[in-house]
């Protein structure tokens, strides 16, 4: 499967991609106890996608790792698709990549679609003159 094929609320995802960015982990308190979470960006030749890493997964990977996710799932959060191995999936490192040599993702069709819908706004469109500051 390719990144561009992933849809929200999709399960049983098997994908290989390269980690091209990774945020620092942050701590969360949940009803189940303390958790660690970090976001990463993965890339293949079809695009990029946010990957959510939980607990031990965070220490398992770093930028430049080629990973395989088996039985992952995707959800939509704040209008963005996010992938996770989750409780029933598996994340493994299967190689290393020099991210400076990765080809750019093929996203021409997405760019063209968005360009046709962008309109310039005047400052006056952002507020009403009667608005108080």
Tens-digit pLDDT profile for residues 64-95: 999 999 999 999 999 999 999 988 999 999 99
State percent of the chain over pLDDT 70. Answer: 80
Q: What is the pLDDT of residue 107?
A: 56
- Among 89, 100, 96, smallest CA distance to 67 is for 96
Element holding 108 (H helix, E strand): helix 108-115
Ranges assigned E (strand) in the chain: 13-22, 26-30, 33-44, 47-54, 65-77, 80-84, 90-96
CB of 42 closer than 8 Å to CB of 20: yes
Going by pLDDT thresholds of 50, 70 and 90, the confidence category of residue 102 is confident
pTM: 0.76
If one compares 46 and 106, the residue with the highest pLDDT of the two is 46
Q: What is the mean pLDDT of the chain?
A: 83
Tens-digit pLDDT profile for residues 107-128: 543 433 444 444 444 444 444 4
Average pLDDT over residues 93-105: 87
55-61-67-69 Cα dihedral, nearest 10 degrees:
0
Q: What is the pLDDT of residue 72?
A: 97
User: How many CB atoms sit inside 10 A of residue 21's CB?
Assistant: 14
Q: What is the pLDDT of residue 15?
A: 97
Instruction: Sketch out the chain's domains with CATH numbers.
Output: 3-118 (2.40.50.140)
d(CA 105, CA 94): 20
Q: What is the pLDDT of residue 48?
A: 95
């Amino acid at each position: 499967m390719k990144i561009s094929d992933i849809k929200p609320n999709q399960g049983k995802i098997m994908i290989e991609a390269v980690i091209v960015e990774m945020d620092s982990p942050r701590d969360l308190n949940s009803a189940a106890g303390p958790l660690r979470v970090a976001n990463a960006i993965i890339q293949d030749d079809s695009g990029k996608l946010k990957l959510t890493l939980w607990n031990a997964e965070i220490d398992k990977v770093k930028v430049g790792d080629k990973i395989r996710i088996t039985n992952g799932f995707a959800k939509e959060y704040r209008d963005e698709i996010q992938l996770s191995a989750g409780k029933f999936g598996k994340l493994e490192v299967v190689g290393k990549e020099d991210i400076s040599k990765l080809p750019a993702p093929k996203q021409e069709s997405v760019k063209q679609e968005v360009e046709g819908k962008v309109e310039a706004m005047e400052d006056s469109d952002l507020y009403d003159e009667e608005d108080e500051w």
